[in-house]
Amino acid sequence: MEREIVGLSSMATRSILAEVSGHIRLAHGIAVRFDSAGGVEIARRVREGAQADVLVLATGALAALEDQGHLVAGTARPLWISQVVAAVPAGAPVPELGSESDLRTTLLSARAIAFSTGPSGTALVDLITRIGLADALADRLVQASPGVPAGSLLSSGRADLAFQQHSELMDLPGVVVAGPLPGDSAISSTFGGAVPVTSTAPDRAREVLDLLGSDAASRAARAGGMRAPGEPPAESR
């Protein structure tokens, strides 16, 4: 019996990969298991030589790992695109986000704004700087710990507004998604897959990677708050 294929992934894709792994096992007879943690943590493990067969991370992190020689050449590929959304605690008024003016009002009205250590957090800080609110909001930004959903700071009362990948906020208890950011303020992140050089079953890993790009995986991604490259974004509420 062939051994289990082991994957590493960021938290943003955890639920999608769990569903797709089950499908791969049932439909193709390949046992796949992913260990998920914060993207920064997963990248560190790979740089330190952790054994894995498939890696799923934001494409920027994958590119850096490829440049450093940690990926099998030619295996990196985009898989899914995720929109960053705003969220508030359940029971709080849901802000309008139809325009950049609405977004500015929402940001300036917040007591504390939660964001992540991943690419969505970096993009949010860049956006706040671009629209001229860096100084006004400097004391209100609260960064979640690596691997901790920014939305958890809403339910704990540490923040009253949060921004993160839709997949990480959509099913959190005590959290209501307000919608994606409007117009030119919209933020999206692309997640991709690759085979690390530490894989001891690279051919089998490539097969799994192909299956992560299948139509079945795209359907799971859509249900999990992401979309395949080329698909239109979900409509805002």
Instruction: Give me the residue spans of the domains in the chain.
Output: 5-79+190-227, 82-185
DSSP state of 172: -
∠ Cα 166 109 163 (to 5°): 15
d(CA 46, CA 56): 11
Q: If we measure between CA atoms, which residue out of 157, 163, 156 comes closest to residue 141? A: 163
Per-residue pLDDT tens digits of the chain, which is 237 residues long? 478 999 999 988 999 999 999 999 999 999 999 999 988 899 999 999 999 999 999 999 999 999 999 999 999 999 999 999 999 999 999 999 999 999 999 999 999 999 988 788 899 999 999 999 999 999 999 999 887 889 999 989 999 999 998 988 888 899 999 999 999 999 998 999 999 999 999 999 999 999 999 999 999 999 988 999 988 765 543
The answer to whether domain 82-185 has CATH 3.20.20.70 is no
Task: Please give the backbone phi and psi of residue 124, each rounded to the nearest 5 degrees, phi first.
Answer: -65, -45
Number of residues that make up the chain? 237
What pLDDT, on the 0 to 100 scale, is given for residue 185? 94
| Alpha-carbon separation of residue 233 from 110, 119, 197 (angstroms) | 27, 18, 33
- Entry pTM: 0.84
Spatial contact of 121 and 153, defined as CB atoms under 8 Å apart: no
pLDDT tens figures, 54-68:
999 999 999 999 999
- Contact partners, residue 214, CB within 8 Å, separation at least 6: none
- The DSSP line for 93-124 is PPPP-SSHHHHHHHHHH-S-EEE-SSHHHHHH
Which tokens in the block code for residue 95? 């802000």
Q: If we measure between CA atoms, which residue out of 80, 79, 81, 83 comes closest to residue 186? A: 83
Fold: same for 5-79+190-227 and 82-185: yes
Q: If we measure between CA atoms, which residue out of 66, 73, 34 comes closest to residue 47? A: 66
Which tokens in the block code for residue 196? 């690390």
d(CA 89, CA 19): 27
d(CA 59, CA 208): 18
Domain 5-79+190-227, what architecture?
3-Layer(aba) Sandwich (3.40)
